[in-house]
Amino acid sequence: MLGCKPIVNEFAFYPDNVNVIPENNLPNGIQEITINTDDNVELISLFLPSTESKKLLIYFHGNAGNIYHRIPSLLQIHNTGVSVIGVSYRGYGKSEGDPSEEGIYLDGEAIYQHAVERMGFSKENIILFGRSIGTAVAINIAQNKQLRGIILVTPLTSGSDLAKAIGLGAVASLAEGSFNNITKVENIKSPLLVIHGTSDRIIPYSMGREIFDRANVKKEFVKIDGANHNNLHDDYKQKYWPPILRFINNV
């Protein structure tokens, strides 16, 4: 099975390490932070500090592009008054290395530990936000921790389920056991918000619903009728952003 991992990673990750923004051209209030993982990979992520709240939201983006493409979303979240870290996985943006499932879990854990141990945020004040494949990182970290909250946007149940759903039957058998959100979500201990569009053609709506149903915590599900995978925050922003901002403020 180990030999299958490179094939699964090839289908799972589409990093962009070219279209980045020089640090001195970043919007005011955004800075780059450098963090080293346990396997000695240097990550360069984005930090939006705030003095208005003790809360920190850690944002894990999807499998394509890079964190610089998510700056509008980071700014929208930052407007609630919380501090924000936008995570740049290995191989994405200005971060070193090559992405893999195990690697992005190490990246997420390194960012989380840095936030607690070096930046002084308590785990009880940390909100994890996962989008698409980023939900796998958020859920992996959140297991058996009492965090402030977890936001999952378009979560997948597992890598093999997703491969089957999009017609990659051969890859499905190779992906068995990968990105296993459906089992891990039963181990989360924190308040949960799940958002999914009914017309999602990349990660089916039914997967978001199943993830939500498996979680045994205080939880809320937001169904956005007609929304696809990549148009939630723009074309459906009036339905997408209010529950997110409300959750951040109230959790």
- Domains of the chain (ranges plus CATH)? 2-16+35-250 (3.40.50.1820)
pTM for this prediction = 0.94
Active-site residue identified among 61, 114, 196, 229 = 229
Burial class (CB in 10 A: 0-12, 13-18, 19+), 2: exposed
- pLDDT beyond 90 at 13: no
Q: What percent of the chain has pLDDT over 70?
A: 91
| Residue 203, pLDDT above cutoff 90 | yes
Q: What is the mean pLDDT of the chain?
A: 92
Residue 48's nearest CA partner among 64, 71, 66 is 71
Res 91: pLDDT: 96
Residue 61: active-site member: no
In whole angstroms, give the CA distance from residue 250 to residue 24: 34
Question: How far, in Å, CA of 129 to CA of 150, rounded?
Answer: 6
Confidence band, pLDDT 50/70/90 cuts, at residue 2: very low
The one catalytic residue in 83, 88, 100, 132 is: 132
Point out the catalytic residue in the list 83, 114, 200, 233: 200
Region of poorest pLDDT, from 137-146, 157-166, 196-205? 157-166
Query: 36 pLDDT exceeds 60?
Result: yes
Would residue 132 show up in a list of annotated catalytic residues for this protein?
Answer: yes
Residue 199 has pLDDT above 80, yes or no: yes
Confidence of residue 1 (pLDDT cuts 50, 70, 90): very low
Of residues 162 and 203, the one with the higher pLDDT is 203
**Section 72-80 average pLDDT:** 97
Q: Clarify whether 200 is annotated catalytic.
A: yes
Each residue of 119-150: pLDDT tens digit?
A: 999 999 999 999 999 999 999 999 999 999 99
Q: Output helix, strand, coil percentages for the chain, rounded to the nearest 5.
A: 40, 20, 40
Are the CB atoms for 191 and 145 separated by under 8 Å? no
Q: Which residues of 170-208 are buried (b: 16+ CB within 10 A; e: fewer)?
A: ebbebbeebbbbbebbeebebbbbbbbbeebebbbbebb
